[in-house]
Structure 1
Amino acid sequence: MIQLIGVQKKFGKFQALRDITFSVNAGEVVGFIGPNGAGKSTTIRILLGILRRDAGDAKIFGKDVWKNSFEIHKRISYVPGDVSLWGNLTGGEIIDLFLKLHGSGDKQKRDYLIKRFELDPKKKAKTYSKGNRQKVALIAALSTESDLYIFDEPTSGLDPLMEAIFQEEVEKIKNEGKAILLSSHILSEVERLADKVVIIRQGKIVESGTLEELRHLTRTTVTLVTDGDIAQLEQVAGVYDFQQKGNQATFSADNQHLNNILLAATKLGVKQFEAVPPTLEDLFLRHYENEVYKEGR
Structure 2
Amino acid sequence: MTTTTRLARPLAALAAAAFAALLLAGCTAQGGGASSPAVPAAPGAPLTDESAGAEAARDADGTSERSVVTTGWLQLTVDDPVATAADASALVERAGGRVDHRSETPGTETQPARASLVLRIPVDELDGTVAALRELGRVDQVSLDASDVTVERQDLEARIEALTASVGRLQQLLASAATTAELIEIESELTTRQAELDGLTAQRELLVDQIDYATVSLELVTEGVAPSAGPGDFWSGLAVGWDSLVAFTGAALVALGVALPWLGVLVVVGALVVGIVLLATRRRGDREA
| TM-score range for the pair, normalised by the shorter chain length | under 0.3
- In our comparison, the structure showing a higher alpha carbon Rg is 2
Higher relative CO (Cα under 8 Å, sequence separation at least 6) belongs to 2
What TM-score do you get using the length of structure 2 for normalisation?
0.23
**Which protein has the bigger helix share?**
2
**Which protein has the bigger strand share?**
1
